[in-house]
Structure 1
Amino acid sequence: MSLAPSTLVYELAVPVDPAGWESWLIDNLLAEWRPGEWNAEALLFTGDFANPLTWVFPCKVVACMRRSLTKGGACGSCTARMRREGLTADQLVIIPGTGRDPATGALPRCAVSQDNVRCGREVSAEGLCESHSEKWPRYLRDHQGANRERWASGIALPMTARPGCGVAGCADQVAGGRGLLCRYHAGRRREAIRRGAVCSEAQWAARDAPWLAPHQFSLVPLAPLVRLEFLYALQRREARGAQIAPGTLRQTIGMLLTEDTLAAVDPDRFPVNSTNRLYTAHELIHWVHAGYSEFRGLDPAQQDTVELRTLGLSSTKTRSGRRTRSGTASLASIQQGWLRSLLVSWARLKQPESQEFSATRKACIVASTALSLRPGGGHDPAALRLVDMDAVVDACAVTTRPDETLYAYATRKQRKRKFGDLLEFARREDLLPELSPKFAVQSYHRIPVMEVQEEDEAGKAIPEYVIRQLDEQLASIGRDRAYGPLRPEDTHWLMKTAYMVCRDTGRRPREFCGLALECLRYEDGQYTLIWDNFKGKRLKRSLPIEKSTAEAILAWQRRRLQLVFPQHTDSYLFPAIGQVAKTPHLSSHEFGQVLRAWVDGLERIDSDAPDEDGTPLPFDRSKVFAYAFRSSYAQRHADAGTPLDVLMALMDHRNASTTMGYYRVTIRRKRQAVETLRLHAVDRRGNTAPFPSGVSYEQKSVAVPFGGCTEPSNVKAGGQKCPIRFQCAGCGFYRPDPSYLPAIEDHVRELKADRELAEAMGVDDFVIRNLSDQVTAFQGVIERMNERMTGLPEEIRAEIQEASRVLRKVRATNGRTLLPLTVVNRQETNR
């Protein structure tokens, strides 16, 4: 770098040594940066379209040597000619040797030559320089009929070149043989003087840019210090994968002409969500501030806030991995200096994605809080011991959200893992030699699974009465949202089908959005959905679905084949739009936005709670989102008494405890259900036998498969000591209620099957008679309870049905859906 330090005095945002800052910049600039493109002497960048890191491309017009700023486009000159002459790129003819040189920007030289010596001056008109343009008419007057080409190639004497223009990087010669400026820059100076500028030729030459082609930019117009800052930021930005776009940088330079130093410029002056030039200025100033802090000896770890882009975070949304959006993260809650420094060093070396950095930072906050309560506050890494790590793990196990509710098990486990990974990285990279080897995560450090009894686990599910209201207004979903080139009717069709699949199958958003085009299988009169469990890494799963759902999918498949979508989306039921989509299918984010806009735009969605006038209150629309339909699907099955193992298979869970979460019922709901059903208990003959209280219902009976039992010895043994081996229909202590109706009906079917098998085996008559009598007795119980239910008012029946669903879920959770004699293996397996 040949720039000499400037003697100017700059006003900085904070006191600083200007000469030292300038010297630091010079020392930290790359000496060999962009050879062949960057001219350090002239402060001129000339983009090479062969360099993939430079945003310039060859003109698409054959024989044109100029550059285009768009891939597959034409240069500005050819674009103007095609528009003016009404020609296409293939029809346009380029005359060689006219205009400025596309690579250097220099004007062509005069055509006069003699003895292989060519005139060194620039063309002024008709291929001749200014001097020869004046001499040729005079020669023609004296020599009528003379040939200009013969005169230029053997008669006229070549002229020596004039001095070069005083503007750095300008390839033109001074105008008229005197002064410092060429014709181009002299004209620019005269125009500036007419606008009121006061400047000498030397001052103008020191701050004006040369004639620039579209693939060039110059730092000459900037203040001396800003030149160094701009170049430093440009190099640091490129090191993170950014391309050089000469056109954008030329515009950015134009916005910084009045600045004396970028270290004192607020980057927020340039909105990042505006034009490319404003965004680029914002980004470059951030890099200058990062370098300025380093020059002053400020460690980012010592600051309460760090800038994520200059910290080194990567992005999954750009091909280069460069983070393009600005953002900050607070380190104020990390009290230990060594832990802050370790987090910053890890981020710079590993260049993690934003999500990974955020998770690790949160783990450090939890660990820092735990260590601050230990003797010494955890400030000396050499003094940390195993008991300190115990405290950190214990803190991870009980970390809570801002509303003081416990985080999910996976989140608490992640906190511990991320902190342990950070310490291992520090030891592997020797980032913290003084860190005690005793301060490490051990095998016994585990996060316990802590069950939290929520007010109502089913609250995550969308109530069925709300889903019915949504279905009634389904005709409007997706109609007011553009989805690529699709017509509103086709967009509605796509989104309606996606909603129906979401509602009826209970799959996660990513799972139904990513369904294959051929996702249906038809066997033995039953449709099966073929889907992929991405979360569990289990592919080609099968799910029985209703005929109506299958018909909706088939209708969309037929319509989809009539529409035009990008080729890479051909194998998906719900295709993405555009070549640059993150996934080749409809994204869960896109569907979520459509669902949110549709639900928020509906005229009304009523809840089941009335106001003072009896009018239904509005339902909280924020509870309607794509994943909630998965809970609704499971809730429907749980309310219908679907056995745990069946629902576990439908949800594709490997861990029974995960499925049992959909069966959990709060104490309040259970108590309400008991108070309702205790009044409708009957004896084995169907006569009313209500319990005096809810406490009596629970204390003086036990749940057996087909009802309640009040026999004292069996109650004492928790349902394990039935004197007559669970032949409940013949027992005077039998107390069924409507919540047992599904179980009784199932048992009747089992008894009939057992009777047929017994008859085929040729057993004694008393066995057949016993089975038949049990069938008759249980059928009598069913008939009499149904008769009683029919005679009740509709609102009472609805209350009993809801209470029955609640108690069936309680029994499913307790595992009492089978005979007590059955052994159930409850060993959990990994999901």
Structure 2
Amino acid sequence: MTISLPTPLLPETDEFDAVTAELWAAVDTDFLALLGWEPQMRVLYFPHDHLYLGVKACIVPSCYRASTYACGLCSGCRSRWKRQWQDLSPEEFAASPAAQAGRYLGIENCVITDCPRPWKGARVRLCAAHNYQRTVTLKLPMEGFLLHPDVRALESYGLCQTAACVRQRPGKTSPYCEAHKARLRDLRRRVRDFDEDHWRRTVTPIDEANEVNLRGLPDRVVTEVLYGLQERIRDCVRTPYYKLRPFCDLLRRRQVSSIEELELTDQSSGLHRQLRDAFIRYANRRGLSPETERHKDLWDLQAFGHTKWLRFTGITQPWLRQAAKMWAWDDLPRRRGDNVGDTVQSQVNALEKLSESLRVQGPDHGAQPAALGRGDIVAFGNRLAFLEQRGDITLRSRHDNCTYVRRVLIRMRAMGLTRPGQPLHGLPDDFAMGLEDVPALPDEDEAGHDLAPEVMEVLCANLPQLEEAHNREARLAIEVLIDTGRRPVEICKLAWDCLQRDGDGKPVLIYDNYKSHRYGRRLPIPEATAGLITEQQERVRAQYPDTPQNRLKLLPTTYRCVDGTRSISPAWVSGRHRMWVDSLPDFHVAAKVEIEGQPVTKMLPFDKTKIFPYAYRHTYAQRHADAGVPVDVLQQLMDHEQLVTTQQYYRVGEQRRREAVERVTQMQFDRHGNHVWRQAKALLDTEHLRRAVGEVAVPYGVCSEPSNVAANGQDCPVRFRCVGCGHFRTDVSYLPDLETYLADLLRNRERLLAAVAADDWAKAEALPSDEEISRVRRLIRRVKDSVDDLSDEERVEIDHATTLVRRARNSVVHVGLPRVRQPLPDIRPNRTA
């Protein structure tokens, strides 16, 4: 039995149907030349130095195999090195004679000129007939044999008769090469009855380095593989030979006439599934256009300039499905960004919910649009409420579905889809959703999702663990997110040259606001953050020296990219961030709980699900708002379009300041150091307002004397001898001021006692009294003792409340009492600038 060579892949073959011819015409001749394609041989040769196809060659000079190891050796050379020569470095081993000894160099032709028969081995280098002639007939050494006049080339016995093999047969007694003859012999020992003809068609060829054999595959499959491989290269996807070869062997074993026929199970290789789906997708996209997609139930959004797919299969009513397609056709051109597919699909899914409601609750399953009315809209709303109550959907999902259906129906009517001949012709006017049909959501602002300072300190202290568990890019992305408060996508897509200096030499980050489509935005950043970016720039430049600088990304990905021109994705960063946060020990923060009817402060675990990359933006904004940064300045820092968005953070700050005031008020003292026992919850709103605007402040506390309050602190009858006045009170937030006041009193007394140029009455008038000094000392001691009596949890809460109150106090102007606004809290005290 004889199997002829496969038909050359040329357009005039019978196997060339219209699809195959179209795909073959789309394969570039330069690409075929790169792979050394010959139609008669059907073998692809992957160049070692190609960016997306190549695998570096083994560092042993005489070895032709590829290396996938960091040491630079192929699997065979690496095994011999580790077995006997590990005392040498890989480079020393490669240069030594030991690396050449016993090397297997594959099968080559006999060394006699033009002899096509395979040699017996690397040591003999002659075919069987010539080796017999040299050793038995002529009995000559190799040098003399090569020069003997009777030695000449012999005829070939032909190729191995397996469909995929390109090796020569060693003799005429067997139709196979030595390797396949050995495989057949082994198979016969294991299996008694088998189809040898099927075996010939499906057996894999003998692997050769950097080669992928397409022999034995139909023209359609060969063309799909070639075109798919070409498109993967254009998409910057690495596809070395060791990934493609097993897939082609699988196609040969399954004897499919097209890759679309290849069925894979759940146990199949993920790489096989990836290649199959990619090759089918590339083949189907050939000739793709919006016009070809708009009539399908599944749209490939590549035709519209976007990614992913758009499915209409869940809408069962033909009129509603057609209207949905026409709406999507009209809506897609107005969309921008990376998530267009998800955004439009969400609105189509809302129509699927409407379709399901009509199908389940309508008498004719919603088949006739003219039979619908207000009752069907009410039924749809009731069904969504039922699904929410059952737990199938959330309130947010219910709200969004109603909003989307309302919006899409309005747009469909505006498009004229209710006119005669259109899908919605006859649809009653009362089949529409009003604003009152959309369930309200609780007030949820962007603000209020920031992370507590103690949580941020722990996260920043554990950033090195993020780099150890993943890589430098993951850590740098999170670190810059923390320092700058940008959105994750804005940091992930930073260009390599994103760092500039302003006129004063200060660092400025150049980023793009993709959400609002504002590009080239400028943000002042700390020198420490600029140092991180500079270090990453040097690292990326060294890693990709041949890539033009204007195409490089600051945070390049290694997925589907080998030249640094694609950035990591927000989803990738979010996934690594989640794994890192979950691996950290529990975070504990002070929180109030009620035990036996009494509020108690406890250190409770912090919910780790609240720690996500976008939370760093909220934390950045809240930190600046709490520090008293003007709202218009913070709006520019956050690059908000609307001022109201920025103002949300100040409302959160006001609420927290009120809570802090209530907390420190529980530790109020009079001039004798006695507790003023007053429940914080009984504070009047007017007092909160007075504190918010700075109060009528007196040194180291507040004054409640009516005439002095009315005069804004300018009519004190005891001339600011506050610690001797019954209207004076202070709290724990004034402790640093009291300590400073005591130091001033002692310093002034020593200076006055040493003075000789003043009259006695002047000294007596200016000299701080011992009673005042004792009173301040006692007051300080009582405040400190009260703090020491607190539990650890209460002390943490008091410290936090004190910080907020002092920051709020420093952010307003006090008459006669100049103050300096507190700086931003340092959540990374150990980092050098």
RMSD between aligned residues: 7.1
Aligned to 2:605: 620
Name the CA distance, whole Å, in 2 between partners of 1:133 and 1:145: 10
1:47 aligns with 2:43: no
One-letter identity of the residue aligned with 2:233: E
One-letter identity of the residue aligned with 1:246: Y
From 646, 659, 670, give the equivalent of 1:681.
Answer: 670
Aligned to 2:698: 705
Relative distance call for 1:108 and 1:537 in structure 2 (3 A) is farther
1:155 aligns with 2:150: yes
Name the CA distance, whole Å, in 1 between partners of 2:133 and 2:288: 67
Aligned to 1:421: none
CA contact (8 A) 2:590 2:797 kept: no
Measured against aligned partners, the alpha-carbon deviations of 1:277-330 in whole angstroms (never above 9, x if no partner) come to x4532331231242354359586898889899x9999xxxxxxxxxxxxx9999
1:736 aligns with 2:729: yes
How much does 1:172 deviate? 3.9
Measured against aligned partners, the alpha-carbon deviations of 1:559-595 in whole angstroms (never above 9, x if no partner) come to xxxxxxxxx9xxxxxxxxxx99x99xxx999999788
Name the CA distance, whole Å, in 1 between partners of 2:300 and 2:159: 48
Relative distance call for 1:767 and 1:289 in structure 2 (3 A) is farther
How much does 1:130 deviate? 4.7
SS for the counterpart of 1:212 is: coil
How much does 1:30 deviate? 3.2
1:213 aligns with 2:231: no
1:283 aligns with 2:271: no
Name the CA distance, whole Å, in 1 between partners of 2:747 and 2:703: 25
SS for the counterpart of 2:454 is: coil
Name the CA distance, whole Å, in 2 between partners of 1:695 and 1:666: 16
Q: How does 1:108-147 map to 2 (within 5 A)?
A: 108-109=110-111, 111=112, 119=115, 121-123=117-119, 129-131=127-129
1:406 aligns with 2:398: no
How much does 1:237 deviate? 1.8
Q: How does 1:451-470 map to 2 (within 5 A)?
A: 460-462=452-454
One-letter identity of the residue aligned with 1:285: R
Name the CA distance, whole Å, in 1 between partners of 2:34 and 2:675: 99
Aligned to 2:260: 263
1:247 aligns with 2:242: yes
Name the CA distance, whole Å, in 2 between partners of 1:769 and 1:634: 53
Aligned to 1:237: 232
Q: Which of 1 and 2 has higher RCO (CA within 8 Å, sep 6+)?
A: 2
How much does 1:620 deviate? 1.0
Aligned to 1:92: 97
Aligned to 1:557: none
CA contact (8 A) 2:591 2:603 kept: yes
One-letter identity of the residue aligned with 1:538: P
Relative distance call for 1:810 and 1:379 in structure 2 (3 A) is farther
CA contact (8 A) 1:263 1:292 kept: no
Q: How does 1:507-656 map to 2 (within 5 A)?
A: 536-539=524-527, 597=583, 599=585, 619-620=604-605, 622=607
One-letter identity of the residue aligned with 2:9: S
CA contact (8 A) 1:47 1:246 kept: yes
SS for the counterpart of 1:407 is: coil
One-letter identity of the residue aligned with 1:31: T
CA contact (8 A) 2:589 2:604 kept: yes
Measured against aligned partners, the alpha-carbon deviations of 1:364-399 in whole angstroms (never above 9, x if no partner) come to 989x9899866975679999xxxxxxxxxxxxxxxx
State the TM-score, normalizing by the size of structure 2. Answer: 0.52
1:666 aligns with 2:656: yes
How much does 1:122 deviate? 4.3
Measured against aligned partners, the alpha-carbon deviations of 1:452-506 in whole angstroms (never above 9, x if no partner) come to 5x8xx8x724399x99xx9xxx9xx99999979xxxxxxxxxxxxx9xxx9xxx9
Name the CA distance, whole Å, in 2 between partners of 1:365 and 1:763: 85
Name the CA distance, whole Å, in 2 between partners of 1:695 and 1:172: 96
Relative distance call for 1:714 and 1:267 in structure 2 (3 A) is farther
CA contact (8 A) 1:68 1:74 kept: yes
Aligned to 1:32: 30
One-letter identity of the residue aligned with 1:263: E
Name the CA distance, whole Å, in 1 between partners of 2:616 and 2:120: 77
Aligned to 1:727: 720
Name the CA distance, whole Å, in 2 between partners of 1:337 and 1:617: 53
From 2, 10, 28, give the equivalent of 2:9.
Answer: 2
Name the CA distance, whole Å, in 2 between partners of 1:293 and 1:341: 21
How much does 1:56 deviate? 3.9
How much does 1:44 deviate? 0.5
How much does 1:20 deviate? 5.1
SS for the counterpart of 1:619 is: strand
Name the CA distance, whole Å, in 2 between partners of 1:243 and 1:311: 23
Name the CA distance, whole Å, in 1 between partners of 2:56 and 2:804: 67
Measured against aligned partners, the alpha-carbon deviations of 1:541-576 in whole angstroms (never above 9, x if no partner) come to 99xxxxxxxxxxxxxxxxxxxxxxxxx9xxxxxxxx
How much does 1:218 deviate? 0.5
- Specify every segment of 5 or more residues in structure 1 that has no aligned partner in the other structure, as ranges: 9-17, 272-277, 314-326, 348-356, 384-401, 409-451, 485-497, 511-530, 543-567, 569-578, 646-652
How much does 1:33 deviate? 1.5
CA contact (8 A) 1:304 1:330 kept: yes
How much does 1:65 deviate? 5.2
Aligned to 2:357: none
One-letter identity of the residue aligned with 1:729: C
CA contact (8 A) 2:58 2:73 kept: yes
CA contact (8 A) 1:720 1:820 kept: yes
One-letter identity of the residue aligned with 2:259: L
Relative distance call for 1:364 and 1:757 in structure 2 (3 A) is farther
Relative distance call for 1:54 and 1:242 in structure 2 (3 A) is same
Relative distance call for 1:205 and 1:364 in structure 2 (3 A) is closer
Name the CA distance, whole Å, in 2 between partners of 1:813 and 1:618: 25
Relative distance call for 1:285 and 1:204 in structure 2 (3 A) is same
CA contact (8 A) 2:55 2:66 kept: yes
One-letter identity of the residue aligned with 2:215: V
- Specify every segment of 5 or more residues in structure 2 that has no aligned partner in the other structure, as ranges: 1-7, 315-323, 351-399, 417-440, 470-474, 487-505, 510-522, 531-541, 543-557, 630-636, 640-645, 827-833
CA contact (8 A) 2:210 2:241 kept: yes
Aligned to 2:740: 746
SS for the counterpart of 1:32 is: helix
Aligned to 1:560: none
Name the CA distance, whole Å, in 2 between partners of 1:752 and 1:180: 111
Measured against aligned partners, the alpha-carbon deviations of 1:623-657 in whole angstroms (never above 9, x if no partner) come to 69899999999999x99xxx989xxxxxxx99999
Q: How many residues align structurally?
A: 611
Aligned to 1:274: none
Name the CA distance, whole Å, in 1 between partners of 2:98 and 2:524: 62
Aligned to 2:109: 107
How much does 1:239 deviate? 1.8
Aligned to 1:316: none
